[in-house]
Structure 1
């Protein structure tokens, strides 16, 4: 699909990668951009239509779909950062990660697939992570949720292909966002993440790997996971 003239809805649009998507969509000539957030008052990008949205609340998702009946491009970016041990930590944290990244994203896909199909087809982008493919110490709940979201993305891609909707899985290591402020390593600018993803939309790419880290981690899947974990120290 062509980004120019599209009608996009971005979740988690008040900061970070979501805000990067909103800004880049406007630069590329999207006809309309719905910028959504749990706290819509924090969205401050001019030229967008702001909607309240909590992707873990089915009623909120249904309301957003009703308020945005012209969407042709859905960017599922909203997420949370969780940490702790899966074995000894608080299970509520891991459940929250799964509720957000898997079930919340799937709720959005289910609500907006009929909208996009009705508008002649389009695309969905699910913002995933290199952590879809490995588990870093202390990030087991987040990694498990992203792994589940990755395979869900693969599943809905095959289901929606016949309905004129492409589904992209977007993977990256680290972006230069508030969430990754403490990370001391290479980080990709949010607008660059958005550019690569939207380039992928225009060529119907099923998967976009943003950086060297995501490409390295995916390549490691052919090997022994214990060996890869040992490289992480």
Structure 2
């Protein structure tokens, strides 16, 4: 009788780890999370907008939060050709706002973006979009020269210009990045670095146009986090196929 009990305990002891492994393999792997950011607020009620989830899974709510998506835009790229957000549809991309005359944070941001580009150079689903905040100076020719300085891959890293009336609202209302031209309210400013105020943030945008993250483009560790979260986003898309 004792031998039978001991044998039973041994079988259970051996079986439990195997069952745990099978459970984790079946339900734990490929479970990646990277939330969407910027919920949409209903201007009439002040509450977050909600929509019905058409096919909720067992662990999902019946109602979904409505999140902000990047609005449509048409600008001019470094080749002097029209470029729209629709050309980034179906791509994971990293956006930033900069200007070519910047001598403070922009070179650091662009250097870090070069590092990200090197990591994802072979990934066709990852691209980059850099928007100037100094459009009167940053012509397509200037953007091309700047792109060469940072070994930007043509067709993968896009440098974009337009009018200030296009770019500034897009930064603030589209990508949730603050920008300003200080010369409008302070006539004492003289240098470009004093004139053009913009954020050091890099913005991760998914294939549907949702913002998935903000990262300090001057901080190597935070850019490392960006690269990790791009990989997480890629895994999310892989598991949804």
Superposition TM-score, scaled by structure 2 size:
0.29
Structure number with larger C-alpha Rg: 2
| Larger helix fraction of residues | 1
Superposition TM-score, scaled by structure 1 size:
0.29
| Larger relative contact order, structure 1 or 2 (CA cutoff 8 Å, min sep 6) | 2
